[in-house]
Amino acid sequence: MIPEPRAEHRSSNLAADFGVFCTARPVTAGLELRMNLPNALTLGRIFLVPLLVVVLLTKFDGRLIFGVRKELVGAAIFGVASLTDWLDGYLARRRKQITTLGQLMDPLADKLLISGALISLVQMDLAPAWMAAVIIGREFAVTGLRSLAHSRGLIIAASPLGKLKMIAEVVAILLLILGKDHLQQFFVLGRIALWVAVITAVGSAVDYYRRFNHVVTGGRRPEPPLAIAAEHTAASPLAPSSNLTTPSSLPTRPRL
Protein backbone atom coordinates (compact mmCIF):
# COMPACT_ATOMS: atom_id res chain seq x y z
CA MET A 1 0.00 0.00 0.00
CA ILE A 2 1.43 3.36 -1.02
CA PRO A 3 1.21 5.98 1.79
CA GLU A 4 -0.62 9.18 1.02
CA PRO A 5 1.73 12.13 0.33
CA ARG A 6 2.04 14.67 3.11
CA ALA A 7 0.63 18.19 2.74
CA GLU A 8 4.02 19.86 2.40
CA HIS A 9 4.92 17.51 -0.46
CA ARG A 10 1.76 18.36 -2.28
CA SER A 11 2.20 22.12 -2.22
CA SER A 12 4.76 22.27 -5.01
CA ASN A 13 2.57 20.22 -7.33
CA LEU A 14 -0.45 22.37 -6.54
CA ALA A 15 1.49 25.55 -7.22
CA ALA A 16 2.53 24.22 -10.60
CA ASP A 17 -1.04 23.25 -11.47
CA PHE A 18 -2.95 26.30 -10.25
CA GLY A 19 -0.47 29.13 -9.77
CA VAL A 20 0.34 31.40 -6.85
CA PHE A 21 -3.29 32.08 -5.92
CA CYS A 22 -4.16 28.40 -5.65
CA THR A 23 -1.36 27.02 -3.54
CA ALA A 24 -1.92 25.04 -0.37
CA ARG A 25 0.20 25.82 2.64
CA PRO A 26 0.57 23.66 5.76
CA VAL A 27 -1.01 25.21 8.82
CA THR A 28 1.25 25.65 11.79
CA ALA A 29 -0.17 26.05 15.26
CA GLY A 30 1.08 27.50 18.47
CA LEU A 31 2.79 30.88 18.26
CA GLU A 32 0.78 31.99 15.22
CA LEU A 33 -2.39 32.16 17.32
CA ARG A 34 -1.46 35.49 18.88
CA MET A 35 -2.99 38.98 18.86
CA ASN A 36 -1.36 41.86 17.01
CA LEU A 37 -2.42 45.09 15.28
CA PRO A 38 -3.73 43.47 12.05
CA ASN A 39 -5.75 40.94 14.06
CA ALA A 40 -7.09 43.75 16.27
CA LEU A 41 -8.32 45.57 13.15
CA THR A 42 -10.03 42.39 12.00
CA LEU A 43 -11.82 42.04 15.34
CA GLY A 44 -12.77 45.72 15.17
CA ARG A 45 -14.42 45.08 11.80
CA ILE A 46 -16.51 42.33 13.40
CA PHE A 47 -17.66 44.70 16.16
CA LEU A 48 -18.73 47.28 13.55
CA VAL A 49 -21.23 44.84 11.99
CA PRO A 50 -23.99 45.09 14.66
CA LEU A 51 -23.48 48.87 14.80
CA LEU A 52 -24.03 49.08 11.04
CA VAL A 53 -27.23 47.01 11.23
CA VAL A 54 -28.61 49.13 14.08
CA VAL A 55 -27.92 52.38 12.23
CA LEU A 56 -29.49 51.20 8.97
CA LEU A 57 -32.60 49.52 10.39
CA THR A 58 -33.48 51.70 13.38
CA LYS A 59 -36.14 54.35 12.71
CA PHE A 60 -34.66 57.54 14.09
CA ASP A 61 -36.66 60.78 14.39
CA GLY A 62 -36.30 62.56 11.09
CA ARG A 63 -33.89 59.80 10.02
CA LEU A 64 -31.11 61.87 11.59
CA ILE A 65 -28.31 60.81 13.92
CA PHE A 66 -26.77 63.84 15.63
CA GLY A 67 -28.03 65.95 12.75
CA VAL A 68 -26.63 63.66 10.04
CA ARG A 69 -28.76 61.45 7.82
CA LYS A 70 -28.56 57.85 8.95
CA GLU A 71 -27.73 56.69 5.39
CA LEU A 72 -24.57 58.79 5.47
CA VAL A 73 -23.68 57.44 8.91
CA GLY A 74 -24.29 53.87 7.75
CA ALA A 75 -22.22 54.41 4.60
CA ALA A 76 -19.40 55.85 6.72
CA ILE A 77 -19.44 52.86 9.09
CA PHE A 78 -19.45 50.42 6.20
CA GLY A 79 -16.68 52.35 4.44
CA VAL A 80 -14.47 52.30 7.53
CA ALA A 81 -15.10 48.60 8.06
CA SER A 82 -14.23 47.88 4.43
CA LEU A 83 -11.08 49.97 4.74
CA THR A 84 -9.90 47.85 7.65
CA ASP A 85 -10.22 44.81 5.38
CA TRP A 86 -7.48 46.23 3.17
CA LEU A 87 -5.51 47.78 6.04
CA ASP A 88 -5.15 44.65 8.18
CA GLY A 89 -3.83 42.65 5.22
CA TYR A 90 -1.41 45.42 4.27
CA LEU A 91 -0.06 45.76 7.81
CA ALA A 92 0.23 41.99 8.23
CA ARG A 93 2.39 41.74 5.11
CA ARG A 94 4.36 44.91 5.80
CA ARG A 95 5.13 44.02 9.42
CA LYS A 96 5.45 40.29 8.71
CA GLN A 97 2.68 39.50 11.17
CA ILE A 98 0.73 36.98 9.10
CA THR A 99 -0.75 34.50 11.57
CA THR A 100 -3.12 31.57 11.43
CA LEU A 101 -5.61 33.53 13.55
CA GLY A 102 -5.62 36.36 11.04
CA GLN A 103 -5.97 34.02 8.06
CA LEU A 104 -9.04 32.44 9.65
CA MET A 105 -10.65 35.54 11.18
CA ASP A 106 -10.24 37.87 8.19
CA PRO A 107 -12.59 35.98 5.80
CA LEU A 108 -15.04 35.42 8.66
CA ALA A 109 -15.14 39.17 9.38
CA ASP A 110 -15.70 39.88 5.68
CA LYS A 111 -18.61 37.47 5.51
CA LEU A 112 -20.25 38.88 8.63
CA LEU A 113 -19.90 42.43 7.29
CA ILE A 114 -21.28 41.62 3.84
CA SER A 115 -24.09 39.44 5.22
CA GLY A 116 -25.19 42.08 7.74
CA ALA A 117 -25.15 44.83 5.11
CA LEU A 118 -27.06 42.78 2.52
CA ILE A 119 -29.74 41.69 4.99
CA SER A 120 -30.18 45.34 5.98
CA LEU A 121 -30.49 46.37 2.32
CA VAL A 122 -33.17 43.72 1.75
CA GLN A 123 -35.09 45.00 4.77
CA MET A 124 -34.81 48.53 3.36
CA ASP A 125 -36.11 47.37 -0.06
CA LEU A 126 -32.84 48.35 -1.72
CA ALA A 127 -31.75 44.88 -2.85
CA PRO A 128 -33.64 41.78 -4.07
CA ALA A 129 -33.79 39.02 -1.49
CA TRP A 130 -32.70 36.31 -3.96
CA MET A 131 -29.49 38.19 -4.80
CA ALA A 132 -28.64 38.51 -1.13
CA ALA A 133 -29.43 34.81 -0.62
CA VAL A 134 -27.09 33.76 -3.45
CA ILE A 135 -24.20 35.85 -2.15
CA ILE A 136 -24.67 34.89 1.51
CA GLY A 137 -25.13 31.22 0.62
CA ARG A 138 -21.90 31.30 -1.35
CA GLU A 139 -20.07 32.87 1.60
CA PHE A 140 -21.13 30.18 4.04
CA ALA A 141 -20.47 27.37 1.55
CA VAL A 142 -16.91 28.60 0.96
CA THR A 143 -16.44 29.04 4.70
CA GLY A 144 -17.38 25.40 5.24
CA LEU A 145 -14.92 24.24 2.59
CA ARG A 146 -12.19 26.46 4.03
CA SER A 147 -12.78 25.05 7.53
CA LEU A 148 -12.62 21.51 6.19
CA ALA A 149 -9.36 22.24 4.38
CA HIS A 150 -7.92 23.82 7.54
CA SER A 151 -8.85 20.72 9.55
CA ARG A 152 -6.64 18.76 7.14
CA GLY A 153 -3.75 21.17 7.66
CA LEU A 154 -4.20 23.21 4.46
CA ILE A 155 -5.03 26.81 3.66
CA ILE A 156 -6.32 27.66 0.17
CA ALA A 157 -5.38 31.17 -0.93
CA ALA A 158 -7.99 33.56 -2.31
CA SER A 159 -8.27 33.79 -6.08
CA PRO A 160 -8.43 37.03 -8.16
CA LEU A 161 -12.08 36.26 -8.93
CA GLY A 162 -12.89 36.19 -5.23
CA LYS A 163 -11.16 39.53 -4.70
CA LEU A 164 -13.14 41.01 -7.59
CA LYS A 165 -16.31 39.74 -5.94
CA MET A 166 -15.41 41.52 -2.70
CA ILE A 167 -14.75 44.80 -4.51
CA ALA A 168 -18.07 44.55 -6.38
CA GLU A 169 -19.92 43.86 -3.11
CA VAL A 170 -18.38 46.87 -1.35
CA VAL A 171 -19.12 49.21 -4.26
CA ALA A 172 -22.68 47.90 -4.62
CA ILE A 173 -23.52 48.26 -0.92
CA LEU A 174 -22.07 51.76 -0.66
CA LEU A 175 -23.91 52.98 -3.77
CA LEU A 176 -27.21 51.41 -2.71
CA ILE A 177 -27.03 52.97 0.77
CA LEU A 178 -26.20 56.41 -0.60
CA GLY A 179 -28.79 56.10 -3.38
CA LYS A 180 -31.78 55.65 -1.05
CA ASP A 181 -34.39 58.37 -1.80
CA HIS A 182 -31.63 60.58 -3.25
CA LEU A 183 -28.88 60.33 -5.86
CA GLN A 184 -30.86 58.02 -8.15
CA GLN A 185 -27.82 57.53 -10.39
CA PHE A 186 -26.01 55.96 -7.43
CA PHE A 187 -28.88 53.50 -7.01
CA VAL A 188 -28.71 52.41 -10.67
CA LEU A 189 -24.94 51.96 -10.49
CA GLY A 190 -25.37 50.05 -7.25
CA ARG A 191 -27.77 47.60 -8.89
CA ILE A 192 -25.29 47.02 -11.72
CA ALA A 193 -22.48 46.43 -9.22
CA LEU A 194 -24.75 44.01 -7.33
CA TRP A 195 -25.25 41.96 -10.51
CA VAL A 196 -21.49 41.84 -10.95
CA ALA A 197 -21.17 40.67 -7.34
CA VAL A 198 -23.70 37.85 -7.89
CA ILE A 199 -22.00 36.62 -11.07
CA THR A 200 -18.51 36.69 -9.54
CA ALA A 201 -19.83 35.05 -6.35
CA VAL A 202 -21.10 32.05 -8.29
CA GLY A 203 -17.97 31.88 -10.46
CA SER A 204 -15.57 32.14 -7.53
CA ALA A 205 -17.53 29.49 -5.61
CA VAL A 206 -17.13 27.03 -8.49
CA ASP A 207 -13.43 27.90 -8.76
CA TYR A 208 -12.91 27.47 -5.00
CA TYR A 209 -14.62 24.08 -5.00
CA ARG A 210 -12.45 22.93 -7.91
CA ARG A 211 -9.26 23.94 -6.09
CA PHE A 212 -10.53 22.49 -2.82
CA ASN A 213 -11.26 19.16 -4.48
CA HIS A 214 -7.77 19.11 -6.02
CA VAL A 215 -6.12 19.92 -2.69
CA VAL A 216 -8.04 17.27 -0.77
CA THR A 217 -7.41 14.53 -3.32
CA GLY A 218 -3.79 15.59 -3.70
CA GLY A 219 -4.13 15.70 -7.47
CA ARG A 220 -4.13 11.89 -7.68
CA ARG A 221 -6.44 10.11 -10.06
CA PRO A 222 -8.38 7.13 -8.72
CA GLU A 223 -7.13 3.74 -9.77
CA PRO A 224 -9.13 2.09 -12.56
CA PRO A 225 -11.53 -0.66 -11.45
CA LEU A 226 -9.62 -3.34 -13.41
CA ALA A 227 -6.39 -2.57 -11.56
CA ILE A 228 -8.15 -2.72 -8.22
CA ALA A 229 -9.81 -6.02 -9.14
CA ALA A 230 -6.49 -7.50 -10.25
CA GLU A 231 -4.85 -6.42 -6.99
CA HIS A 232 -7.56 -8.06 -4.88
CA THR A 233 -7.44 -11.19 -7.00
CA ALA A 234 -3.69 -11.50 -6.53
CA ALA A 235 -4.04 -11.07 -2.77
CA SER A 236 -6.91 -13.55 -2.45
CA PRO A 237 -6.03 -16.93 -0.86
CA LEU A 238 -8.38 -18.59 -3.32
CA ALA A 239 -6.56 -17.17 -6.33
CA PRO A 240 -4.70 -19.69 -8.54
CA SER A 241 -0.98 -19.79 -7.93
CA SER A 242 1.89 -20.97 -10.07
CA ASN A 243 3.11 -23.06 -7.12
CA LEU A 244 -0.03 -25.15 -7.07
CA THR A 245 -0.25 -28.34 -9.07
CA THR A 246 -2.76 -28.16 -11.87
CA PRO A 247 -4.04 -31.00 -14.07
CA SER A 248 -1.94 -29.79 -16.97
CA SER A 249 1.23 -29.93 -14.86
CA LEU A 250 0.69 -33.51 -13.53
CA PRO A 251 2.86 -36.22 -15.10
CA THR A 252 0.96 -38.30 -17.56
CA ARG A 253 1.33 -42.03 -18.07
CA PRO A 254 2.74 -43.05 -21.40
CA ARG A 255 0.19 -44.42 -23.79
CA LEU A 256 0.60 -48.02 -24.80
pLDDT tens readout for residues 96-133:
888 777 777 888 888 899 999 999 999 999 999 999 99
Distance CA 229, CA 216 (A): 25
Handedness of CA 89, 91, 93, 97 (dihedral sign): negative
Provide the pLDDT for residue 153: 77
pTM: 0.69
Mean pLDDT of 38-43: 89
How high is the mean pLDDT of the chain? 75
pLDDT tens readout for residues 218-248:
654 444 444 444 444 444 444 444 444 444 4
Distance CA 132, CA 48 (A): 20
Burial 183-192 (b: 16+ CB within 10 A, else e): eeebbebbbe
pLDDT tens readout for residues 136-195:
999 888 888 877 887 777 777 777 888 899 899 999 999 999 887 667 788 899 999 999
Enumerate domains of the chain plus CATH numbers. 7-217 (1.20.120.1760)
pLDDT tens readout for residues 174-190:
999 988 766 778 889 99
